[in-house]
Amino acid sequence: MPSTFTQAMATLGAAAEFPNTYVAQWKQRTGGKAIGLFPMNFPAELAHAAGVLPVIIQEDREPITAGRNLLGEFNCGYTRNLADQAALGRLDVYDGFFQADHCIQLLGAVDVVREDEPDKPVYFGQLMSSMGDEWTFPQVLEKMNDFRVELEKFTGRAVSDDDIANSIEIFDENRRLMRSIFDQRRHGDAALAPDQIQVLVKSSMIMDKQEHTELLREVMAEHGPVPRDDRIRVHLSGHFCHAPNPELLKVIEDSGAIVVDDDLFHGTRYVSTDVGSTDDPMAALASVYLRRNSAVPCPTRVQHDVDWDRFLVDSVIASGAQGVIVLMAKFCEPHMLFYPELRKALEARSIPLLLIETEHEGLPLESIRTRVEALVERIRRKQLTTV
Amino acid sequence: MSAPTLANSNKLVIPTATNMVGDYWDNLFTAKERGKQVVWYNGSAVNPFFQAAGLEWCHGEAFSARLAAQQLEKPAQLAGEEYGYIGELCSYARTHLGCAVLTKQARSEDETGIVGLVDQQELASRLPAPDFFVNAYAGCSTGQQWDEISYRVFGKQVPIFNVSLPFLPGNKPDAGYLSGEEWDQASGYVADQLYKLVEFLETMTGRPFDWDALRQNMSYIKRASELRREAMALCRAAPTPATYWDWIASIAHINFMPAGPELVQYFTDVKAEVQRRLDNSTAGVRNERYRLYFDGIMNWNKLGWLSRKFADADVAVVCGRYTHNAFWQEPHLIDTEDPILGMAQHYLLCPTNHGVKTLKYLTNRDCVDYGIDGIVFHASRTCRAFTNPQHLLAKSAQKELGIPSMFFEGDVADASFYKDEILESRLAAMLEGIDVRRSRI
Ligand code: SF4
Ligand code: SF4
């Protein structure tokens, strides 16, 4: 008989692997509507408060076919895959689409969705990405209010402040639990492999939050802490919008490395910051947008006084990671722009670094294995010489 | 693959033209010697503010484009590569960030007395280091992030001001070109920020801002723009007296040259020359048989090559998104007494700042107005902002107007992405298709 842990992981894994099936079943079960969200900053709490299921659309595993003729081959894999999903009807399960981020490649993909789902609302409320201006906060608050109004129009029902506060608490609880898993990993627990952690995060982006929280509790209750072995400790950095390929994560751990921390969107970044209890939930949602970027800086934002490079070095020191593997979605412009700053900061601290570019299809896993093994070897030798 | 000839292209020559653009750059290179403050900026044409504030200005894309057009971009790109920039990054940003690295090195070499490579010196030391940055990038997120990185390359010691320009997605049912609630709200929001920009400039210069000078600047720009639009409209005639390449040749003028009587004179002369050609039946392409629309940002490395290439195939490229739907293209929006709102609106009207609904409207409108037979899409490898909507635009033109299109690959400032054989074979195929279609009518 499978353990509760195994059963819960299987349920979460199914949602992560087949989001559309989960969404269709949820709609059937509840009679509710589901909206597709584009990463990375839409306030899903508001949608939850409006009674709809907010789902962050995931990159799927299908090869890109029709999407090839909709966006350039030099767009990131996530946006090309989105275009493909839209063109081939794989987004039909959603009743509407909402977006808050203005990455230029994502805007292109959303235009394709708009074109292919002409009868459904596609709403873009641009959350300002220049974070430090005196008008940033009022602007962000205004956008949050726009989202609320649009969601009210979409569902045909008013959303009260109490509804929003309630949803915030539900989301915060889920984040707290997930964070505790990340904390444990940082402090020496090797119980969950990176691909399993990714299942937890991905499913949290898809499922009804309370349902997810229950399953998460089961996962946590059943797995006892497992002490780390002597594999080389690495930090995974980068990879926005979509999850790194699980086979790639396996290759990293099979090559003699163990992941102890990350700043991935499908990881620490997603759960980094709570909204907190408040009398003014709209202001709280606006403020968390800003606070999240201070907690885990993101190069898609412009904030002069926070540094992703400094954050990375501090994280590495805090977790005791011995090296950094940068996972860069090929063609991801914000990441390409910031990468030299990371490289400089890590080199200054003599922290070994490996850059792996990822693609939607055709990932050269064997050559990646060789490169990760070389990194591991380099770190081992460094260890020996410093002993 | 064949090299283009000079036989069929008939470039617009303005007999009275001076070397405005060359003089501008030479002037900029000596800014520091003359004790002037220098601002580096990207994106929208906020230069009239700088001019009114008594500053010298360097537009990042313009400098990268200039280097590429002169085939001088390599040293900057190599410096960028060495610093860690990947070759798939926007080649404007990559070139300019490479310049930033070199400029910074040159500055420290000045201090240390170490002399760098000659070609690096050539590029880097000539570009004066910024006293501050202003970013006002519409549409493309890369533009905004690029300046943030420049700020970091200079050790976060050079002040920076960001104007946030919202994208115009066309969410609401009333959203349209120059109309709807989305347009009104965004216009007001940006106008408010421009007042803040003025305050920032006052702080940077230590002088009160000269509002009269701004009004004056904008009256010159408005007039220049009207003349440019009128001259463009004359090219609805077939054969066209001037081509897209001629409009490309005057982009620098309308985009970042100082506002003044010379600017107005330049476009007066352009219009007069286009009119003269029209009156004399002088064509921009000697044997015009096809009229095409060009969509995409310019491939600066290949400017002359492309103009001759199309002309060799009897193609007049008549208009395009980059020339006709950008650069102060709606002069009626400018109130010269109170220019801020109209300026804000132009910054929002960047052709990469619209959702595809508006872009379809603009492209199809111009295709009808200019009697276009087909569209050529420059799939510029590292500029996703321009390439994003191209496939949807191609489908729309085919569906709405029955106009075919072709794609060719290249880039704004990186010659390695250009594939001549692809352009040649696809162009031949499209022109054949146009012939077949004509024979059926
Ligand atoms: S941030 Fe990167 S991964 Fe996300 S849509 Fe933009 S380019 Fe793609
Ligand atoms: S990608 Fe294109 S629009 Fe964006 S910054 Fe580069 S050249 Fe400008």
For B219, residues 6+ apart whose C-beta sits below 8 A from its C-beta are: B336
Comparing alpha-carbon positions, the chain A residue that sits nearest to B393 is: A70
Which CATH number covers residue A177? 3.40.50.11900
**What pLDDT digit, counting tens, does each position of A336-350 carry?**
999 999 999 999 999
Residue A266 gets which letter from DSSP? I
- Inspect the interface and report whether the beta carbons of A122 and B166 lie closer than 8 Å: no
Residues B268, B380: contact at Cβ < 8 Å? Answer: no
φ and ψ at residue A128, rounded to 5 degrees: -55, 135
Specify whether A127 is located in the same domain as A187: no
Distance of CA A202 to the CA centre of its chain: 7
How far does residue A244's CA lie from ligand 1's centre (Å)? 13
**Residue A57 vs residues A53, B259, B300: alpha-carbon distances, Å:** 12, 48, 38
Residue A341 structural domain:
165-385
How far away is chain A from the Cα of B90, in angstroms, using its nearest Cα?
A: 8
pLDDT classification of B49: cutoffs 50, 70, 90: very high
Q: Does B379 touch chain A (CB under 8 A)?
A: yes
SS3 A232: strand
Tokens 């929006």 belong to: B333
The predicted complex's ipTM stands at: 0.95
Residue B196 structural domain:
20-439
SS3 B403: coil
- Residue B6 belongs to a domain: no
Tokens 């066309």 belong to: B170
- What percent of chain B clears pLDDT 90, i.e. is strictly above it? 85
- Residue B3 belongs to a domain: no
Comparing alpha-carbon positions, the chain A residue that sits nearest to B151 is: A304
**What pLDDT digit, counting tens, does each position of B149-206 carry?**
999 999 999 999 999 999 999 998 999 999 999 999 999 999 999 999 999 999 999 9
Q: A99-127 burial, b if ≥16 CB within 10 A, otherwise e?
A: bbbbbbbbbbbbbbbbbbbeebbbbbbbb
Torsion of CA A303, A304, A310, A314, to 10 degrees: -60
> What are B424's two structure tokens?
């040649």
Computed over its alpha carbons, how large is the radius of gyration of chain A? 20
Specify whether A114 is located in the same domain as A27: yes
Q: What residue spans of B280-325 are helical by DSSP H?
A: 303-312, 321-324
Interatomic CA distance for residues B11 and B33, integer angstroms: 37
Closest CA to B345 of B231, B194, B213, B227: B194
- Residue B401 belongs to a domain: yes
Residue B144 has its nearest CB partner, among A115, A302, A304, at: A302
Q: Which one of A98, A102, A104 would you mutate to disrupt binding with B, by most B Cβ within 10 Å of its Cβ?
A: A104
Q: Which of A61-75, A172-186, A285-299, B61-75 has the lowest average pLDDT?
A: B61-75
Residues A197, A267: contact at Cβ < 8 Å? Answer: yes
Specify whether A16 is located in the same domain as A139: yes
Pocket of ligand 2 (CB under 6 A): B 90, 92-93, 140, 142-143, 146, 297, 352, 383-386, 412
Domain total in chain A: 2
Comparing alpha-carbon positions, the chain A residue that sits nearest to B411 is: A74
Specify whether A126 is located in the same domain as A238: no
pLDDT classification of B55: cutoffs 50, 70, 90: very high
The mean of the pLDDT values for chain A is: 96
Which CATH number covers residue A38? 3.40.50.11890
CA atoms within 13 A on the CB side of A138: 5
Q: Write down which residue in A159, A194, A228 finishes a domain.
A: A159
Specify whether A85 is located in the same domain as A141: yes
Specify whether A177 is located in the same domain as A124: no
pLDDT at B285 over 70: yes
pLDDT classification of B125: cutoffs 50, 70, 90: low
pLDDT at B121: 52
Specify whether A278 is located in the same domain as A139: no
- Residue A1 belongs to a domain: no
Residues A89, A252: contact at Cβ < 8 Å? Answer: no
**Residue B185 vs residues A276, B341, B353: alpha-carbon distances, Å:** 31, 11, 15
**Residue A141 vs residues A43, A288, B308: alpha-carbon distances, Å:** 11, 11, 53
The mean of the pLDDT values for chain B is: 93
- Residue A220 belongs to a domain: yes
Residues B335, B341: contact at Cβ < 8 Å? Answer: yes
Residue nearest to atom 7 of ligand 1 (CA): A332
Domain total in chain B: 1
φ and ψ at residue B132, rounded to 5 degrees: -165, 165
Q: Which of A219-228, B253-262, B317-326 has the lowest average pLDDT?
A: A219-228
Closest CA to A220 of A192, A187, A201, A260: A192
What is the helix (H) or strand (E) element at residue A322, kind and residue range? none
Specify whether A123 is located in the same domain as A195: no
- Residue B29 belongs to a domain: yes
Q: Do the bridges between strand A34-37 and strand A122-124 make them parallel or antiparallel, or are there none, so unpaired? A: unpaired
Q: Does B352 touch chain A (CB under 8 A)?
A: yes
- Inspect the interface and report whether the beta carbons of A111 and B83 lie closer than 8 Å: no
For B348, residues 6+ apart whose C-beta sits below 8 A from its C-beta are: B138, B165, B166, B168, B183, B186, B187, B190
| Bridge partners, A258 (sequence order) | A233
Closest CA to A37 of A231, A193, A176, A241: A241
Q: Write down which residue in A92, A124, A159 finishes a domain.
A: A159
pLDDT classification of A130: cutoffs 50, 70, 90: very high
Q: A298-314 burial, b if ≥16 CB within 10 A, otherwise e?
A: bbbbbbeebbbbebbbe
How far does residue A109's CA lie from ligand 1's centre (Å)? 10
Specify whether A208 is located in the same domain as A343: yes
φ and ψ at residue B8, rounded to 5 degrees: -105, -15
Atom of ligand 2 at shortest range from CA of B412 = 7
Closest CA to B168 of B364, B396, B349: B349
For A317, residues 6+ apart whose C-beta sits below 8 A from its C-beta are: none
Q: Write down which residue in A105, A130, A159 finishes a domain.
A: A159
Specify whether A15 is located in the same domain as A80: yes
**What pLDDT digit, counting tens, does each position of A109-122 carry?**
999 999 999 999 99
Specify whether A153 is located in the same domain as A195: no
Tokens 């990159």 belong to: A59
Specify whether A21 is located in the same domain as A149: yes
pLDDT at A304 over 50: yes
- Residue A2 belongs to a domain: no
Phi-psi map region of A258: left, alpha, beta (phi>0 left; psi -120 to 50 alpha): beta
pLDDT at B123: 61
Q: Does B166 touch chain A (CB under 8 A)?
A: yes
pLDDT at B142: 96
Tokens 């009128």 belong to: B230
Residue A74 has its nearest CB partner, among B160, B357, B381, at: B381
Interatomic CA distance for residues A63 and B404, integer angstroms: 28
How far does residue A104's CA lie from ligand 1's centre (Å)? 8
Q: Which one of B101, B145, B165, B348 would you mutate to disrupt binding with A, by most A Cβ within 10 Å of its Cβ?
A: B145
pLDDT at B112 over 50: no
Residue nearest to atom 4 of ligand 1 (CA): A241
- What percent of chain A clears pLDDT 70, i.e. is strictly above it? 99
| Farthest-apart Cα atoms in chain B, separation | 73
What is the helix (H) or strand (E) element at residue A365, kind and residue range? helix A365-386
